[in-house]
C-alpha cells in the first residue's frame, strides 16, 4: 500500500482582465496535484499549486519539470498513507518529513 500522485495543468481563461500588481492577466495556469493510496484509488485528495507570473518566486523556467520530478519521487518512494498522515500533524512536521525524500528542490527555497 503506497501513496501515489499525479499532476494536471489547467489553464483558466478570464472573461475580464484580472488585475495584479504586475498588471492585468487574461489567463492563469494552475496545477492540480492528486494523492491517493494505490489500493483504494476511489479515495483521493486534490490540492492546487497556482503561482502567479511575476509574483511567485517558484514560477521559473524549470517549474513544470521540477513539479513532475517531485511527483515521480513521491510515486517511487513507497510511502504509506499511515506514514503520510502521521507526518501531517503540522506543517512543520510535514515539511521535515518531506525533506527526507530525494525531491529535486529544497522545500524552504521559496519564502511564502
Domain ranges of the chain: 3-8+29-98
- 65-75 pLDDT, tens digit each: 888 988 888 89
C-alpha grid cell for residue 89?
500533524
- 23-62 pLDDT, tens digit each: 888 898 999 999 999 999 998 989 998 888 877 777 788 8
If one compares 10 and 52, the residue with the highest pLDDT of the two is: 10
Query: CA 12 → CA 16, 41, 50, 72, distances in Å?
Result: 11, 27, 11, 26
Note the pTM of the prediction, 2 decimals.
0.74
What's the pLDDT score for residue 82? 79
Nearest CA-CA partner of 27 in 17, 37, 35, 41: 17
8: which strand partners?
32
Q: Are 46 and 8 in contact (CB under 8 A)?
A: no
Is residue 103 pLDDT above 60, yes or no?
yes
Amino acid at each position: 500500500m503506497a501513496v501515489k500522485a499525479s499532476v494536471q495543468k489547467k489553464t483558466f481563461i478570464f472573461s475580464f482582465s484580472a488585475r495584479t500588481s504586475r498588471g492585468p492577466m487574461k489567463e492563469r495556469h494552475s496545477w492540480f496535484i492528486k494523492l491517493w493510496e494505490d489500493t483504494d484509488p476511489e479515495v483521493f485528495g486534490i490540492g492546487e499549486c497556482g503561482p502567479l507570473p511575476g509574483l511567485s518566486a517558484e514560477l521559473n523556467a524549470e517549474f513544470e519539470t521540477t513539479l513532475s520530478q517531485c511527483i515521480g519521487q513521491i510515486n517511487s518512494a513507497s510511502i504509506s498513507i499511515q506514514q503520510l498522515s502521521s507526518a501531517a500533524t503540522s506543517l512543520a512536521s510535514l515539511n521535515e518529513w518531506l525533506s527526507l525524500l530525494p525531491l529535486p528542490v529544497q522545500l524552504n527555497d521559496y519564502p511564502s
